[in-house]
Structure 1
Amino acid sequence: MAASPKISVIASLLLAAALAGCSRPAEKTEDIRPVRVIKLVGSDVDVNAEFSGEVRARVESRLGFRVGGKIISRKVDVGTLVRKGQVLMQLDPQDLQLSQAQALANLRAAETNRDLAKAELARYQELRSKSFVSQTVLDSKESTYKAAQATVDAQQAMYRGQSNQAAYSALLSDTDGVVTSVDAEIGQVVSPGTPVVRVAKSGEKEIVIGIPEDKVDTLRQVPDVQVRLWADPDHSVAGRIREISPVADPSTRTYTFKVAIPDSLAEAKLGMTAVVQFASRTATPQIKVPLTALFYEKSASSVWVVENGVVRLVPVTIGGVAGNDIILAGGVQAGQTVVTAGVNLLKPGQKVTILGDDLGMAPAAGAQK
Structure 2
Amino acid sequence: MVKYNQSAILTIIAAHILAGCTPSPAPEHEDVRPVRTLIAGRTLGSVGANYSGEIRARYESQLGFRTGGKIVARLVEVGSHVKRGQPLLQLDPSQEMLMVNAASADTDAARSRVAQSRVDVQRAEQLLAKNFASQAELDHQHLALDQAEAQLRSALARQQMNANLRGFTTLVADRDGVVSAINAEAGSVVAAGQPVAIVDADGEREVTISIPESRVDELRKAKSLQISVWAHPGKLWNGTLRELAPATDSVTRTYSARITIEQPDPVLLRLGMTASVFAPDVEGSGAIRLPLTAIADHDGERQVWIVDPKTKRVVRRSVQLGAAQNDSVLVVAGLAAGETVVTAGVHQLHANQQVKLADSTPSPASGSAK
Name the TM-score class by shorter chain. 0.7 to 0.9
Q: Matched residues, percent identical?
A: 37
Deviations 1:180-210 (A, max 9, x none): 0010001110010111110001111111111
Mapped to 1, the partners of 2:302 and 2:81 lie a distance apart of 63
Backbone CA RMSD of aligned residues: 2.6
Mapped to 1, the partners of 2:363 and 2:332 lie a distance apart of 15
Mapped to 1, the partners of 2:362 and 2:298 lie a distance apart of 27
Q: CA deviation at 1:64?
A: 0.5
Q: CA deviation at 1:327?
A: 1.5
Taking structure 1 as reference, are residues 298 and 211 closer, same or farther at Cα in structure 2, changes over 3 Å only? closer
Taking structure 1 as reference, are residues 29 and 202 closer, same or farther at Cα in structure 2, changes over 3 Å only? same
For 1:215, the aligned partner's letter is R
**Superposition TM-score, scaled by structure 2 size:** 0.82
1:14 match: none
Q: CA deviation at 1:34?
A: 5.4
1:79 match: 79
Q: Is the 8 A contact 1:39 1:335 kept in 2?
A: yes
Taking structure 1 as reference, are residues 168 and 282 closer, same or farther at Cα in structure 2, changes over 3 Å only? closer
Unmatched tracts of structure 2, length 5 or more: 1-27
Taking structure 1 as reference, are residues 315 and 188 closer, same or farther at Cα in structure 2, changes over 3 Å only? same
1:327 paired to 2:331? yes
Taking structure 1 as reference, are residues 92 and 240 closer, same or farther at Cα in structure 2, changes over 3 Å only? same
Taking structure 1 as reference, are residues 29 and 90 closer, same or farther at Cα in structure 2, changes over 3 Å only? farther
Mapped to 2, the partners of 1:88 and 1:281 lie a distance apart of 45
1:361 paired to 2:366? no
Q: Is the 8 A contact 1:301 1:315 kept in 2?
A: no
1:180 match: 180
Q: CA deviation at 1:56?
A: 0.6
Stretch moving more, 134-143 or 46-55:
46-55
Mapped to 2, the partners of 1:282 and 1:221 lie a distance apart of 8
Stretch moving more, 229-238 or 268-277:
229-238
Look up the SS of the partner of 1:196 in the other structure: strand
For 2:346, the aligned partner's letter is V
Look up the SS of the partner of 1:77 in the other structure: coil
Q: CA deviation at 1:307?
A: 5.5
Unmatched tracts of structure 1, length 5 or more: 1-27, 365-369
1:341 match: 344
Look up the SS of the partner of 2:181 in the other structure: strand
Q: Is the 8 A contact 1:309 1:352 kept in 2?
A: no
Q: CA deviation at 1:257?
A: 1.3
Taking structure 1 as reference, are residues 296 and 145 closer, same or farther at Cα in structure 2, changes over 3 Å only? closer
Taking structure 1 as reference, are residues 89 and 29 closer, same or farther at Cα in structure 2, changes over 3 Å only? farther
Look up the SS of the partner of 1:55 in the other structure: strand
Taking structure 1 as reference, are residues 86 and 309 closer, same or farther at Cα in structure 2, changes over 3 Å only? farther
Q: Is the 8 A contact 2:229 2:273 kept in 1?
A: yes
